[in-house]
Amino acid sequence: MTVLVTGGAGYIGSHMVLELLDAGARVVVLDDLSTGHDWAVPQGVPLIVGETGDQALVTRLIREHRISAIIHFAASIVVPDSVRDPLAYYRNNTVNSRALIECAVENKVRDFIFSSTAAVYGNPVEIPVKEDAPAQPISPYGWSKLMTEVMLRDASRAYGLRYVILRYFNVAGADPQCRSGQTSKVSTHLIKIAVETAVGIRPKIEVFGADYPTPDGTCIRDYIHVSDLARAHSDALRHLRTGGPSATLNCGYGHGFSVLEVIDMVKRVSGADFKVDIGPRRAGDPAQIVAASEQARAVLGWQPRFDDLATIVGHALAWERKLQAQGVPPTRAATKVGQAPAAKDSARPRRR
């Protein structure tokens, strides 16, 4: 019995792979490497380069590796990009997810964990936002994820597919052992950009909007440590495998920090001062969103270990300094396109 992790060469997906390996599970990764890195997948874990929408490829992987569960991270995630190019987001996030769900159903994969987002709530009226709050996305990104949630629920009713949908917003930090971290080809996450600025990679950081209806005028978010999030997915998988019902749950710490508060924490933890510019708002950004996560704790038994902004920033900073000291990690030659351990595990990545 093996777990298929889509997007397992990306930021959150690579931490999920580590979580599964630490628990003794067998893992296979499917990633198109459009934003992920082949070196982020540990040696010994099969990495198949391809799309989740390639049904022939996914079907073959499920059968050859005896996949019993799918944890689905692969997606485009930049909110402003989704506003500029919505059809690309609906294709990659919604159409491809539909194809993946169909493969799961047709090949009798019973357990499906979906990486969703608190962006499905849009601008919630009540903070912290609960799972039964109205879903009113304000960006194509949020809509693309909500559509996949609806498909999963319908597939569950029609075909018996069991699922857990996990909604979260701002993921940050790095593996405490510095085995993985955020290495985006184009960084968009606040803490990642802030620590890059702290170590001198960037000359300054720009804040997008300081006129929101919040105490200091900047957006407030619930920042969750990436390793705690990976643990929540692992708990969700155990929940399903032990007969638990399908569920839609928030993942967060239940309290938020503003953009300026995060920047101040990065300055304090790093001991570095740096320039901060205030720019215009970005399209699709809600003013404040914090996730009520009592249900995840009650239903899954999830117990976060890193609910501390200084710890999150410290782990992100340690990872950034490791990247600086070592340079970009080498490519896994064994898993380059056309050079997979077995030819059957090779596929061309999508070109963007």
- Cα 340 from Cα 336, distance rounded (Å): 6
Under a CB-based contact definition with an 8 Å cutoff, are residues 113 and 233 in contact?
yes
Which of 11, 89, 90, 141 is catalytic? The answer is 141
**Of 166, 189, 170, 163, residue with least CA distance to 73:** 166
**Of 297, 302, 286, 324, residue with least CA distance to 141:** 286
Q: Which residues contact 207 (CB under 8 A, 6 or more apart)?
A: 218, 259, 260, 263, 276, 277, 278, 279
Under a CB-based contact definition with an 8 Å cutoff, are residues 194 and 277 in contact?
no
Radius of gyration of the chain (CA): 19
On the 0-12 / 13-18 / 19+ scale of CB atoms within 10 A, 43 is exposed
98-101: Cβ within 8 A, 24+ apart: 98/148, 98/151, 99/52, 99/53, 99/54, 99/55, 99/58, 100/6, 100/52, 100/53, 100/58, 100/70, 100/72, 101/148, 101/151, 101/152, 101/155, 101/161
- Cα 162 from Cα 331, distance rounded (Å): 36
- Cα 54 from Cα 59, distance rounded (Å): 9
Active site residue 168: no
- Cα 263 from Cα 273, distance rounded (Å): 10
Residues belonging to the active site: 141
